[in-house]
Chains A and B, each alone.
Chain A
Amino acid sequence: MWTWFFQLASPPHFYRMAASLVPWLLWPALLLILVGAWGGLVLAPADYQQGEGYRIIYVHVPSSYLSMMVYVTMAVAAGIGLIWRIKLAHAVAASCAPVGATFTAAALITGMLWGKPMWGTYWQWEPRLTSELILLFLYFGYMSLRSAFNDLNQSDRASAVLALAGVVNVPIIHFSVLWWAGLHQGPSISKIDAPSIAFAMLWPLLVMILGFTLFFLGILAMRVRGEVLEREFHSRWAQDVLRGVSRVEAA
């Protein structure tokens, strides 16, 4: 079990394995997203209250779900890297951040676009959007700390501590934002009530979430490959890869 684990965590092995994994993640992701989009944009009926405008949830909800998921993934990977000193885990954490920040930005933008027909304004200090905004700041802080160090080893470990501190804080921030918003009786629309949502509206959403998740994993695998190659630049196997030697032997 452990030997298998360490073999998986060895950079050249991972580099090869991830290459064969990427198409198995990205093609199903494309398929699921297309099916979900068709289901959500064509098959699902218009909402009796929100009309056609609600359909943006098919992008917004998966994005905001992933924005949180990616942060947790990043923190878990960073924690594994910090405790067991596995370099691959640090590479995973480093690769997560820009992807997560992008999903967060996507969730913010789609939330704002949805807000325009709902509230008549692009921005409303509403708990979900506010949480998403703070999460974006957390990603920015993580990425700028990472880039501030010259030494990669130091940068990995320092940003791991920040990611862990952040992940402890995410629920605290979330609940204090909810509490804060509850005090200000703003125009808060309960966007999605999962139990009461019609099945025709729900299944495309679930398909989209699955598709987005696979898409994230595929992108992550690609990014980690690049990251690993850059980190192992001086090693023999990386030189072989870069020189185009097709047969990559474990260094």
Chain B
Amino acid sequence: MITFNNLFQKRILVQDGAPPGWRFREVELLTGTGLTLWRGANCLFDKLSFSAAPGGALLIRGPNGSGKTTLLRVIAGLTLPEEGEVHGNGAPLSRRDESGRHVMAYCGHATALKPDLTTLENLRFFARLSGYPTDSLGELLAASGLVACADLPARVLSAGQKRRAAFARVLMSGARLWLLDEPQTNLDSAGRQFLERMLQEHLATSGTAVIVAHQAVDLGSAPTAVLQMGETA
């Protein structure tokens, strides 16, 4: 049985003989302080603060339109907050890791798959960007349940399969911080299990995850904080 951690370890060994610990930087404390954002005349959040310790998950909940996705995009650095800042490990997260390692993996509603490329070609691009060994892609596809559609153009994939491909991309990134926007959308029960297992292993290896979720996510024993949005709106 392939565990995701095995996939990481393998990648490290293949990589450049670096000591296996290099990618697991000990502390990656994620903090947001005083975040404020207005959309037109609507205040999405005002002086919002949160933190997530390594090995812990932060669940963002709230009704539609309460700014959950926007908050996740603020953490990812895709949206500029009007005030406040997001820090990873005490340094502004917007300042990227200069060693070229992925600091974060963002998985939004859009799956970033090119409809005309096959699943494998799509994933190979991200594998090369994140330095994941492309010859291990087969195992990753097997673990994500995508072997059957490896050579199919992404446009014929079902919504759930596209989501699994997006998860495979998150796994490949090797990032310590995962930002997942409603990851359970379109997933069947096997897909949900896959997601939960992958999250549990990520948190068990002291990764951090911020998840926008409507339904309950079983994160095992990992410490989980809940950020309830929508009171201010």
A residues with a Cβ closer than 8 A to B are 85, 151-152, 233-234
Beta-carbon contact of B41 and A233 below 8 Å:
yes
- Among the interface residues B39, B40, B41, which one has the most CB atoms of the partner chain A within 10 A? B40
User: Mostly helix, strand, loop or mixed at chain A's interface?
Assistant: loop
User: Mostly helix, strand, loop or mixed at chain B's interface?
Assistant: loop
Q: What residues on B are CB-neighbors of A233 within 8 Å?
A: 41
- For the complex formed, measure the closest distance between the CB of B90 and the CB atoms of chain A, giving whole angstroms: 23
Q: What residues on B are CB-neighbors of A151 within 8 Å?
A: 39-40
In Å, the complex CA distance between A151 and B38 comes to 10
In Å, the complex CA distance between A151 and B41 comes to 11
Beta-carbon contact of A234 and B41 below 8 Å:
yes
- For the complex formed, measure the closest distance between the CB of B201 and the CB atoms of chain A, giving whole angstroms: 38
Count of chain A to chain B residue pairs whose CB atoms are closer than 8 Å in the complex: 6
- For the complex formed, measure the closest distance between the CB of B34 and the CB atoms of chain A, giving whole angstroms: 15
Q: What residues on B are CB-neighbors of A85 within 8 Å?
A: 80
A to B CB contacts below 8 Å, 6 in the list: A85-B80, A151-B39, A151-B40, A152-B40, A233-B41, A234-B41
In Å, the complex CA distance between A152 and B80 comes to 13
- For the complex formed, measure the closest distance between the CB of A242 and the CB atoms of chain B, giving whole angstroms: 14
B residues with a Cβ closer than 8 A to A are 39-41, 80
Q: Which 4 pairs, one residue from A and one from B, show the smallest C-beta to C-beta distance?
A: A234-B41, A233-B41, A152-B40, A151-B39
In Å, the complex CA distance between A234 and B43 comes to 10
In Å, the complex CA distance between A15 and B116 comes to 54
- For the complex formed, measure the closest distance between the CB of B228 and the CB atoms of chain A, giving whole angstroms: 24
In Å, the complex CA distance between A233 and B39 comes to 13
Which chain B residue shows the least CB distance to A87?
B82
Which chain A residue shows the least CB distance to B43?
A234
In Å, the complex CA distance between A75 and B166 comes to 41
Q: What residues on A are CB-neighbors of B39 within 8 Å?
A: 151
Q: What residues on A are CB-neighbors of B80 within 8 Å?
A: 85
In Å, the complex CA distance between A234 and B39 comes to 12
- For the complex formed, measure the closest distance between the CB of B148 and the CB atoms of chain A, giving whole angstroms: 41
In Å, the complex CA distance between A20 and B176 comes to 55
Which chain B residue shows the least CB distance to A157?
B80
Which chain A residue shows the least CB distance to B42?
A234
In Å, the complex CA distance between A251 and B83 comes to 17
In Å, the complex CA distance between A151 and B79 comes to 13
